[in-house]
Amino acid sequence: MYSQDSLILTLDDFQKISSLVSSTQSEIAELLEEELSRASIVSNDKLPQDVVSMNSTISFQDLDTKKDSIVTLVYPHEANINENKISILAPIGSALIGLKVGQTINWPVPNGKEKRLKVISVLYQPDVNSI
């Protein structure tokens, strides 16, 4: 939402997330839809390895607290906080999708504040060539 850099999404992720967002009524879904509208769409085999995609495991930092976290970005039915699997419809999940390592974003969270997040690394990205 407040990142000047562009986002990169695979066509598969874009289509699935777009469908999910269109059937969901929430502020996060609206913000995510806005993000999707500015994304560059690439084929699965053209996605750079340093870009956050669905089912990838990411290390990121909250720039205000300096806290590092590692999460896997999943669809809502797969979310499990005990396994650090966060939903694309959660504020942090929707903020991270499509960002490259080193990119930062300011993203609203439910308490009315904003989180400033920076992608540190993509630890795992699904083998997009096997899709």
Q: What does the pLDDT look like over 105-122, one tens digit per residue?
A: 998 877 788 889 999 999
Domain ranges of the chain: 7-125
Among the listed residues 97, 123, 112, the one whose alpha carbon sits nearest the alpha carbon of residue 10: 97
| pLDDT tens-digit readout, 67-93 | 999 999 999 999 999 999 999 999 899
Q: 7-125, which class in CATH? A: alpha beta
| pLDDT tens-digit readout, 20-29 | 988 887 888 8
Give the list of residues 6+ apart from residue 37 with CB closer than 8 angstroms, or none.
Answer: none
pTM of the model: 0.88
Q: Rg of the chain's alpha carbons, rounded to an integer? A: 13
What's the sign of the alpha-carbon dihedral 44, 11, 33, 110? Answer: negative
